Structure 1
Amino acid sequence: MAVPEILELLVSPIHRYEGRPADGPSPAPPGELVDKVVVRAGLGLVGDRYFGRAAHRDAAVTLIAAESLPAGVGLVQSRRNILVRGLDVDSLVGQVLTLDSGCGPVSFAVRRRANPCAWMDVVIGPGAFRALRGKGGIRCAPLTDGELHIGPVEVTTAEPET
């Protein structure tokens, strides 16, 4: 199996998929795709639209596997925060996921699936909403502070402590 890697990172201060999908998304702000992200335990990614929001504390960070997306589709369309290759993220619900891209380990409690929505048919293409069911990524709560960078990443998983 290939060495897992982080392919893209997205930190966006705005929600682009609001309203009806037929109306189309809001324009992307400049600088959404970044080379590194700063993670804060219990809060999320610094600068992201879900950072520190009470309603999203258990799901502030989202990951999706590149293998789940059509070629050429990434985080700008899927609106997840971390795009990885070589890691079956959808199988990790209920576990603790630790990623280390060279700046030390950053751990996440994988809370639940990140289910796709009708917007996927608009921004990726017809049938994407249905095709991404069960492989739309995961929603996580950050357990530790740290940084993640694009590139190879060491991955460990564990059962949560009780």
Structure 2
Amino acid sequence: MPEIVQLLASPLHRYLGRPADGPAPAAPDEIVEEVRIRAGLGIVGDRYFGRPAHRDASVTLIARESLPPGADLVQARRNILTAGLAVDELVGSVLVLDAGQGPVRLRVNRAAHPCAWMDATIGPGAWKALRRRGGVRCTPLTDGTLRVGPVEVTIAD
């Protein structure tokens, strides 16, 4: 069964300036057990919540299978880390996730392309290794809550 492995809701932009300078320190509570999602706005408490420029990309997902061992959302800067779900193949679909609190519908708009920061945060070569495997950017279509743990998945076109 697919699962949500990790969730990130960070109020901070950590990747400022040049990758060679390193990221800003992480917020202490950005890795959470549960997130509240609002339709058209994103994840409550996240740095992109309600920002017009990010409404079509306010929720990001990446598959654990895409990351090297030991890497997580703190380095990848996506919101939802899944296992057993090939998220990169879902562009153009509506992804419905139910982690026990009712379904959350996400329109999968486009790929979340990796950047040079990946070499600085995950390790040398990560930027290249994550091409076509960097996750997806989504618009939330419904309000709801997602939690770490098993998740029921439905894919709609």
Q: Give the TM-score band, short-chain normalised.
A: over 0.9
Deviation at 1:58, TM superposition (A): 0.5
Deviation at 1:18, TM superposition (A): 1.0
Once residues 90 and 9 of structure 1 are traced to their aligned partners in structure 2, the CA distance between those partners, rounded to angstroms, is 18
Cα RMSD for the two superposed structures: 0.3
Residue aligning to 1:53: 51
The residue identity in structure 1 corresponding to 2:98 is D
Indicate yes or no: 2:103 matched with 1:105: yes
SS in 2 for 1:115: coil
Residue aligning to 1:39: 37
Q: Which of 78, 81, 84 is residue 80 of structure 1 equivalent to?
A: 78
Q: Which of 21, 26, 30 is residue 28 of structure 1 equivalent to?
A: 26
SS in 2 for 1:129: helix
Count matched residues. Answer: 157
TM-score (norm 2): 0.99
- Structure 1 runs (4+) deviating above 3 angstroms are none
Residue aligning to 2:130: 132
Counting aligned pairs with the same residue, the percent is 69
Structure 1: state its 5+ residue gaps: none
Structure 2: state its 5+ residue gaps: none
Deviation at 1:28, TM superposition (A): 0.4
Q: Deviations over 1:91-142 (max 9, x none)?
A: 0000000000000000000000000000000111111000000000000000
SS in 1 for 2:5: strand
The residue identity in structure 1 corresponding to 2:81 is L
Once residues 112 and 64 of structure 2 are traced to their aligned partners in structure 1, the CA distance between those partners, rounded to angstroms, is 14
Residue aligning to 1:119: 117
